[in-house]
Amino acid sequence: MTQSELTAEHFLTIADHTLLAPGTTAAELDAFMVTAAEIGVSRVCVSSSLLPADARGAEIVTVVGFPSGAHHASVKVAETAEAVANGANEIDMVVNRGLVRAGEWAAVEDEIRAVREACPGRVLKVIIESAALSDEEIVESCRAAEAAGADFVKTSTGFDPAGGASVHAVRLMAATVGDRLGVKASGGIRTTAAVRELWAAGATRFGVSGTAAILAEWDAPAILNAAAAGASNESY
């Protein structure tokens, strides 16, 4: 899949501006929502325990089974149902990695499908923690997510010591799901260059906490080039 050039304006529409730090207070959440509105992002991603929340016009993304995924499917289903009741527009669920590592793909698919059924009409993303998986496990996890009716596959929670999003994983995930599902890159994405690389690899959504910093440097190369051109036109 070939992606066109990503602009800052388009990035704002596909960035899930994220606050998932444990111990977040109500005051910190409110300040985060104010900043999100000022930045102009389309979505915010927060912990389900912080819902309901005033997102000031943005859609709300929340996480279930977070961050380990080592929860019974029934717990993820209950968490999903409560999140939807509390205003979540999108659900990012963490897959059970033990089932993935054991190659129990029917069980992986069943768990995802159960969460899918708990959030009808909502966008469902499946976090596979790609940095901790083999290529085969990444591919099979993506296939299970698609078979279970997910809308996106997502690289990472951002909390696993194995690491976050990588170009290799995003490219592999995008090749597996084609244009049938979206691919959300998340975890350790802090620069415009990283966003552009992952976009070129096939990412169609981003989970980022440093959104403002990424946007601030977006046009830096153009600004530097313009300054250099101006300097070259000066008379000495």
Catalytic residue annotation: 92, 154, 184
Neighbouring residues of 158: CB distance < 8 A, sequence distance ≥ 6: 18, 20, 67, 164, 186, 187, 188, 207
Token pair of 221 as six digits: 């190369």
Q: What beta strand segments (E) does the chain contain?
A: 15-19, 43-47, 59-64, 90-94, 123-127, 152-154, 182-186, 205-208
- Residue in 76, 74, 84 with CA at minimum distance from that of residue 121: 84
Burial 137-146 (b: 16+ CB within 10 A, else e): bbbbbbbbbb
